[in-house]
Structure 1
Amino acid sequence: MSVIIFDTTKDGVIDSIVATGKTTYKYAIDSLYPLIDRFSAQRKTQDKKFYARLERDILDKCLMPPLTIAFVEPNFDKTKEIDIAQYIEENINSGYVLDGIQRLSTLNRAKDNERFDDSQTLYLNVIISPSEDKLLYRMITLNNGQKPMTPRHQIEILTQELFDFTDVNIDIQTEKERGKTIVKGSFDLGDLSKAYLAFLTGSVNNDNNKIIGEKMDQIIVGRIMDNQPIAEGVDFKDVIKQIEKLSEDDTVKTWLKIGNNLIGFSVGIKSSYDVIANITPEKFSDSIELFESAFKSINPSKVNLGKFRRELSKNFIENYATHSEFDEMELVEHFMELTA
């Protein structure tokens, strides 16, 4: 067995299995190093001079700090004893390196030196998480101190790399893809990543040019940590499924393709998921027309229209059961109270 597991326990915050174990430098190079390329734009490795000391230490048989690898496994059975080592062996190609990219890159460079010992022990932390949201939460808390990749950048990448959009009937394009050929009716990946960030933080306002980027990143991480993933809560995959269902109606699809609406919807639905999951696209379309009629009452010269669209769409969706039953003037009065 290439991986030996010492102990397993449960992380109650992310509802995940966490194991500690060990492997060898050879296994790390053969099976773990290729994983660092799984994210198409993952945090770039540092200049090799930065890790020259570690490379020398590896050749002198140092003991490197543990690496952290992770897996997303929704159906992982936590009710019985499971051979974690065997699971890792069988699913390693689906793993992610949460912490240790630089060390793996350094290790790979050192392997060609004649003094390199590929039998040296390397310790591992392994996380098996039931959802992408919970894994991302742990990834951000692990990498919060590493400046080369901001939380927003991590989320943008993971929206593309972690979520399998092939099993939903909506087209999603990156900005680069849209620059070549625009697929009619497609959603913008950038808008989806902003919606995901809003979902994770519980806030529709995660961009503020009045605050310098580094401080805003700290605020975002704080918001994510304050909104710990709930074991029995709504995952962003569930949100995507509702977007797919409701987008069967062209009016709704056009509305959701507006980035600010998508952001408000993604935050608001966390409070009204059970209600909206039972709403037909046609019924939701009527509600959207009500929302837009009331929204037209806002004077665009007096407010930041994008900000209010995010906030009001969030409020409308999270209180959908009551607000969708308002008539236009009742909703206008409600908007007046929120914007006062």
Structure 2
Amino acid sequence: MNIYDIDSDKVIDAIVVSGSITYGEAIEKLIPLISKTEFQRKLQDKKFYEKLERDIVDGCIMPSITIAFVNKTITAKSNKEDILTFFDNNYQKSFVLDGIQRLNTLARVSNSKDINLDKKLYLNIIYSDSVDKLLYRMITLNNGQKPMTPRHQVEVMMSNVFDFKELGLEVQTEKERAIKIKMNSFNKSDLVQAYLAYMANSPMVDNKKIIQDKMDELIVSKIVSAEKFDKDSTFENVIKSVAKFQKSAISLKWLKQANNLVGFAVGMKSSVKDIIDLSVEEFEHAVITFDQAFSDFNPSKIKLGKLRRELSYDYFKNFAKLKDFESLELLEYFSELTND
């Protein structure tokens, strides 16, 4: 084991060690700990972690695992040698606070001929003199509050990663829009929806007929099972394209409609090379053609919002094929899709 840092958790009077072991060592020493204690979570359906299985074999860095010891041997005065010796002699007495599902996934791919058993698995090791204190820490790690929904996680990610003004886009929250709407600004919740759909590789990431918890579960399932796309397919490129195309008043109005924006974002994920270099005029022509075709559907026979989202997605997903279609050709293509 490698040790990188030793610190103290003043809340639970514990020593916390940051380090790493190899996948091979984890398979030998940590995987047997998975079902050790009664209060640990039931293992989830393995289908949920099939994407992580593939990623581990492909060489991903797995999020760190947290394990714990109930002991009075390791204290603030202990050095690296003391900790290494204690771990080597007592690892079987530890238990997993956070990471059971990840270790279980690693176990399932441990016999793959393609896995690199020398890959590092990062660890946080907590040494405490009380199981009650460790149980408290486990609760705060796993169940201290309701887990963030996928939508909330995307919103947090967007707030911390994207500088919309720098990317050329004016974005407002619902609260900000309630006070004063900025001219030509986008609703942040629409962009969150578009990003969520982009990550799930599906335009359908909300359904009022499904309870929210189950919908969140379905979204996460879609995200973890989404196939890889080339390195040019990033949501930042979607934002940059929206910022460019909004220079057309027609395109701006079209993109500010949430169903259009979501469909465009997910469709561009498959067609980034065909869309990113379009001129403002070319994109404007594309959305005019789309709307001309869409307007010929009988609104009494369809769910307008759902169909608009699905067809805008298909249009931009297959843009290389459809970009030269006239509105009647596109209508015929769309009608064949809706008849399936």
Distance 1:197 1:118 in 2: 47
Rounded to whole Å, the distance in 2 between the matches of 1:181 and 1:209 is 29
Other-structure match for 1:313: 312
What are the Cα deviations for residues 215-257 of structure 1, in whole angstroms up to 9, with x where unaligned?
2111111110111554624111111111111112121111111
* Structure 2 residue aligned with 1:334: 333
- Is the Cα–Cα contact under 8 Å of residues 144 and 221 in structure 1 kept in the other structure? no
> What's the TM-score once normalised by structure 1's chain length?
0.61
Distance in 2, matches of 1:120 and 1:282, equals: 67
Specify the alignment match of 2:177 in structure 1: 178
Deviations 1:27-82 (A, max 9, x none): x89xxxxxxxxxxxxxxxxxxxxxxxxx4xx32x3557989xxxxxxxxxxxxxxx
Taking the aligned partners of 1:267 and 1:119, their CA distance within structure 2 comes to 53
Residue type matched to 1:339 in 2?
T
SS of the residue 2:5 aligns to: strand
Give the RMSD, CA atoms, in angstroms: 3.6
Which residue number in structure 2 is paired with residue 269 of structure 1? 268
1:287 aligns with 2:283: no
Identity percentage over the alignment? 40
* Post-superposition offset of 1:310: 0.5
- Alignment correspondent of 2:226: 227
Distance 1:226 1:284, change over 3 A: same
Q: Following the alignment from structure 1 to structure 2, what is the Cα–Cα distance between the partners of residues 299 and 66? A: 63
Alpha-carbon offset, residue 190 of structure 1: 0.4
Alignment of 1:6-155 (within 5 A): 6=2, 22-25=4-7, 55=11, 58-59=12-13, 61=14, 63=16, 125=122, 147-155=146-154
Asked if 1 retains the 8 angstrom alpha-carbon contact of 2:6 and 2:17, the reply is: no
Shift of 1:165: 1.5
Secondary structure at the counterpart of residue 25 of structure 1: strand
Over 3 Å counting, the alpha-carbon distance change for 1:201 and 1:308 in structure 2 is: same
Aligned CA distance change for structure 1 residues 144 and 211 (closer, same or farther; 3 Å): farther
1:163 aligns with 2:142: no
Query: What's the CA shift for 1:170?
Result: 1.6
Q: Whose Rg is larger?
A: 2
Q: What CA distance in whole angstroms lies between the structure 2 residues aligned with 1:226 and 1:265?
A: 21
Which residue of structure 1 lines up, in the alignment, with residue 104 of structure 2?
Answer: none
Answer whether contact 2:168 2:243 (CA < 8 A) is retained. yes
Q: Deviation of residue 157 (structure 1)? A: 2.2
Assess, with a 3 A threshold, how the Cα gap between structure 1 residues 276 and 117 changes in structure 2: closer, same or farther. Answer: same
Query: What code does the residue aligned with 2:311 have?
Result: L
1:124-146, Cα deviation, whole Å (9 max, x unpaired): 949xxxxxxxxxxxxxxx98998
- Cα deviation, 1:141-174, whole Å, max 9, x if unaligned, reads x989984311121112222222121311220111
Determine whether 1:213 maps to 2:212.
yes
Q: 1:310 to 1:146 in 2, by over 3 A?
A: farther
Change in CA separation of 1:66 and 1:219 when aligned onto 2, cut-off 3 Å: farther
**Structure 1 position 198, deviation (Å):** 0.6
Shift in Å at residue 270 of structure 1?
A: 1.4
Whether the 8 Å contact between 2:271 and 2:316 is mirrored in structure 1 is yes
Q: CA–CA distance in 2 between the matches of 1:231 and 1:264?
A: 19
Per the TM alignment, residue 296 of structure 1 is displaced from its structure 2 partner at its CA by: 0.5
Aligned CA distance change for structure 1 residues 157 and 143 (closer, same or farther; 3 Å): farther
| TM-score w.r.t. length of structure 2 | 0.61
Distance 1:304 1:143 in 2: 40
Q: Which whole-Å CA distance do the structure 1 matches of 2:204 and 2:218 have between them?
A: 11
User: Helix, strand or coil: the match of 2:285?
Assistant: helix
Instruction: Name the SS of the counterpart of 1:209 in structure 2.
Output: coil
AA at the equivalent of 1:323: L
The residue aligned with 1:113 is none
1:117 is displaced (CA, Å) by: 5.6
Which residues of structure 2 form unaligned runs of 5+? Answer: 21-62, 66-74, 84-120, 124-140
Which residue of the partner structure matches residue 189 of structure 2?
A: 190
Aligned match of 1:297:
296
Letter in 2 for 1:309: R
